Amino acid sequence: MMTLPTATIRLRPTAVLLTMLVAVLGLVLGCGGGAGSPAGDGGGPAAPGATDTIVMKSFTFTPATLTVAPGAKIMVVNQDQAPHTVTANDKSFDSGNISGGQRGAVTAPTKPGSYPYICTIHQYMTGTLIVR
């Protein structure tokens, strides 16, 4: 049996540190650690210029509760085949019908508060928009 010589790998401390930094940064970004992540986290308004998003998939809204700044534009993405709407119970915002696979948008009310919403086509689909 033939044995191959083993190579000795010597890493510089700077290279090790850089590799660790890149790995940690990849984990943070991959886990949605930035403000204004696509699905929102409900924890507070997104950073200025960030786009909040409501996704409709499997006949549910994700996130179920989204917190945004007054007057924020909210992207609405329909990942189902069926059409859906994002319509405030008090009619303060309404996306209109969004066909399967399409996108739309709504603008959050300018008055702070809690705004429950539904899909007017599938009224068991519910969510809440919090404006603060």
pLDDT per position as a tens digit, 14-35? 555 555 555 544 444 443 333 3
Residue 5: predicted pLDDT = 57
- Contact between 65 and 128 (Cβ < 8 Å): yes
**Higher pLDDT, residue 12 or 78:** 78
Q: What is the mean pLDDT of the chain?
A: 79
Q: What is the pTM of this model?
A: 0.64
User: Domain boundaries in the chain?
Assistant: 52-131
How many whole angstroms from its chain centre is CA 23?
A: 23
What's the rounded Cα separation, in Å, for the pair 45 and 67? Answer: 6
Average pLDDT over residues 80-109: 98
How many whole angstroms from its chain centre is CA 13?
A: 37
Residue 51: predicted pLDDT = 76
Distances (CA, A) of 5 to 2, 8, 9, 40, 91: 10, 10, 13, 53, 74
**100, 73, 68: which is closest to 85 by C-alpha?**
100
Residue 2: predicted pLDDT = 57
What's the rounded Cα separation, in Å, for the pair 87 and 69? Answer: 18
* Both structure tokens of 6: 């083993």
Count other Cβ atoms within 10 Å, centred on residue 1. 2
Question: The domain 52-131 is classified under which CATH number: 2.130.10.10, 1.10.565.10, 2.60.40.420, 1.20.58.760?
Answer: 2.60.40.420
Give 98-131 pLDDT, tens digit per residue. Answer: 999 999 999 999 999 999 999 999 999 999 999 9
Residue 42: predicted pLDDT = 42
Residue 83: predicted pLDDT = 98
Residues with Cβ within 8 Å of 11's Cβ and at least 6 positions away in sequence, in order, are none
What's the rounded Cα separation, in Å, for the pair 38 and 78? Answer: 13
